A and B are shown apart, each in its own frame.
Chain A
Amino acid sequence: MATSASRTISSPPATGIGRETRSELYRLQLELRYCEKRAYDLFLQNLIKGTSHLSLGQEAIAAAFGVAMRPDDWTFCTYRGHAHTLARGASMEGVLGELMGRQCGLLGGKGGSMHLTDVAKGVMGSYAIIGAHLPVAAGAAWSAQYRGTEQVAVCFFGDGTTNIGAFHEALNFSAVWKLPVIFVCENNLYMEYTPIADVTAVEHPAADRASAYGLPSIIVDGNDADAVYQIASEALAKARAGGGPSLIEAMTYRHSGHSRADPAKYRPEGELEKWLLRDPVVTYRERLLQNGFNEPTLKDMEAAAMGKVDAATATAKASPLPLIEDIEKNVWANGGAAWRN
Chain B
Amino acid sequence: MAELTYREAVAAGIAQEMARDERVVFLGEDVAAAGGVFKATVGLLEKFGPKRVRDCPISEQAILGAAMGAAMTGLRPIAEIMFSDFLAVCWDIVANEIAKSRYMTNGQISLPLVIRTANGSGSRFGAQHSQAVENWAMMIPGIKVVAPAFPADVKGLLAAAIRDPDPVLFFEQKSLYSMKGEVPDGEYVDELGKAKVLRRGKDCTIVALASMVHKSLDAAAILEKEHGISCTVVDVRSLVPLDTQTILAEVVRTGRLVTVEENPRLCGWGAEIASIVADECFWDLDGPIMRITTPHVPLPSADLLEDNTIPSVERIVREIRAKID
Contact B70 A139 (CB under 8 A): yes
Partner of B65, one of A110, A136, A172, A338: A136
Q: Is B295 an interface residue (CB 8 A)?
A: no
| Distance of A135 Cα from B72 Cα, bound (Å) | 13
Contact A135 B69 (CB under 8 A): yes
Q: Is A265 an interface residue (CB 8 A)?
A: no
Query: Using Cβ atoms and an 8 Å threshold, which residues of chain B touch A340?
Result: 241-244, 276
Q: How far is the CB of B311 from chain A (nearest CB, A)?
A: 25
Partner of A339, one of B57, B108, B110, B241: B241
Q: Is A142 an interface residue (CB 8 A)?
A: yes
Can you list 9 A-B pairs with a CB-CB distance of less than 8 A?
A115-B105, A140-B70, A153-B69, A166-B65, A169-B59, A173-B56, A330-B103, A337-B141, A340-B242
Q: How far is the CB of B78 from chain A (nearest CB, A)?
A: 13
Q: Is B175 an interface residue (CB 8 A)?
A: no
Q: Is B96 an interface residue (CB 8 A)?
A: yes
Which residues of B come within 8 Å of A, CB atoms? 25, 51, 54, 56-57, 59-75, 77, 92-93, 96-97, 101-110, 112, 141-142, 165-166, 193, 240-245, 276
Partner of B102, one of A131, A136, A332: A332
Contact A335 B107 (CB under 8 A): yes
Partner of B97, one of A129, A147, A170, A177: A129
In chain B, what residue has the closest Cβ to A134? Answer: B65
| Distance of A37 Cα from B61 Cα, bound (Å) | 36
Known: A169-B62, A176-B57. A140 touches B105 (CB 8 A): no
Tell which of A42-50, A119-127, A283-291 binds the partner: A119-127
| 13 other A-B residue contacts (CB within 8 Å) besides A119-B108, A146-B25 | A124-B109, A127-B97, A132-B96, A135-B66, A135-B69, A140-B69, A140-B72, A143-B70, A169-B57, A173-B57, A332-B166, A333-B102, A341-B245
Q: How far is the CB of A64 from chain B (nearest CB, A)?
A: 23
Query: Using Cβ atoms and an 8 Å threshold, which residues of chain A touch B64?
Result: 135
Contact B73 A124 (CB under 8 A): yes
Residue among B64, B105, B112, B242 with most chain A CB within 10 A? B105
Q: How far is the CB of A95 from chain B (nearest CB, A)?
A: 14
Query: Using Cβ atoms and an 8 Å threshold, which residues of chain A touch B107?
Result: 329-330, 335
Contact A136 B68 (CB under 8 A): yes
Which residues of A come within 8 Å of B, CB atoms? 74, 106-108, 110-111, 115, 117-119, 124-125, 127, 129, 131-144, 146-147, 151, 153, 165-166, 169-170, 172-173, 176-177, 326, 329-335, 337-341
Query: Using Cβ atoms and an 8 Å threshold, which residues of chain B touch A146?
Result: 25, 51, 70, 75
Partner of B62, one of A119, A138, A331: A138
Q: How far is the CB of B107 from chain A (nearest CB, A)?
A: 4
In chain A, what residue has the closest Cβ to B55? Answer: A176
| Distance of A326 Cα from B60 Cα, bound (Å) | 34
| Distance of A144 Cα from B66 Cα, bound (Å) | 12
Contact A107 B105 (CB under 8 A): yes
Query: Using Cβ atoms and an 8 Å threshold, which residues of chain B touch A134?
Result: 65
Partner of B193, one of A74, A117, A144, A341: A341
| Distance of A91 Cα from B116 Cα, bound (Å) | 38
Contact A339 B105 (CB under 8 A): no
Q: How far is the CB of B65 from chain A (nearest CB, A)?
A: 2
| Distance of A151 Cα from B73 Cα, bound (Å) | 11
Query: Using Cβ atoms and an 8 Å threshold, which residues of chain A touch B242?
Result: 339-341
Known: A117-B108, A125-B109, A140-B73. A135 touches B241 (CB 8 A): no
Known: A173-B56, A331-B102, A339-B240. A138 touches B109 (CB 8 A): no
Contact B73 A74 (CB under 8 A): yes
| Distance of A83 Cα from B74 Cα, bound (Å) | 26
Partner of B106, one of A108, A166, A332, A338: A108
In chain B, what residue has the closest Cβ to A76? Answer: B69
Known: A146-B51, A341-B193. A119 touches B66 (CB 8 A): no
Contact A330 B106 (CB under 8 A): yes
Query: Using Cβ atoms and an 8 Å threshold, which residues of chain A touch B74?
Result: 143, 147
Q: How far is the CB of B102 from chain A (nearest CB, A)?
A: 6
Known: A173-B57, A331-B141, A339-B241. A138 touches B69 (CB 8 A): yes
In chain B, what residue has the closest Cβ to A108? Answer: B106
Known: A140-B73, A173-B57. A115 touches B104 (CB 8 A): yes
Partner of A136, one of B97, B106, B166: B97
| Distance of A115 Cα from B100 Cα, bound (Å) | 11
Contact A166 B61 (CB under 8 A): yes
Known: A119-B105, A124-B109, A142-B66. A165 touches B61 (CB 8 A): yes
Partner of B241, one of A111, A117, A136, A338: A338
| Distance of A334 Cα from B193 Cα, bound (Å) | 14
Query: Using Cβ atoms and an 8 Å threshold, which residues of chain A touch B73?
Result: 74, 124, 139-140, 143-144, 151
Query: Using Cβ atoms and an 8 Å threshold, which residues of chain B touch A334?
Result: 165
| Distance of A74 Cα from B93 Cα, bound (Å) | 19
Query: Using Cβ atoms and an 8 Å threshold, which residues of chain A touch B102?
Result: 330-333
Partner of A333, one of B61, B75, B93, B166: B166
Contact A143 B75 (CB under 8 A): yes
Contact A129 B243 (CB under 8 A): no
Query: Using Cβ atoms and an 8 Å threshold, which residues of chain B touch A147?
Result: 74-75
| Distance of A113 Cα from B77 Cα, bound (Å) | 29
Q: How far is the CB of B270 from chain A (nearest CB, A)?
A: 15
Residue among A111, A127, A143, A329 with most chain B CB within 10 A? A143
Query: Using Cβ atoms and an 8 Å threshold, which residues of chain B touch A170?
Result: 61-62, 65
Q: How far is the CB of A122 from chain B (nearest CB, A)?
A: 10
In chain B, what residue has the closest Cβ to A170? Answer: B62
Query: Using Cβ atoms and an 8 Å threshold, which residues of chain A touch B97?
Result: 127, 129, 132-133, 136
Residue among B102, B108, B109, B142 with most chain A CB within 10 A? B108
Contact B61 A137 (CB under 8 A): no
| Distance of A155 Cα from B110 Cα, bound (Å) | 19
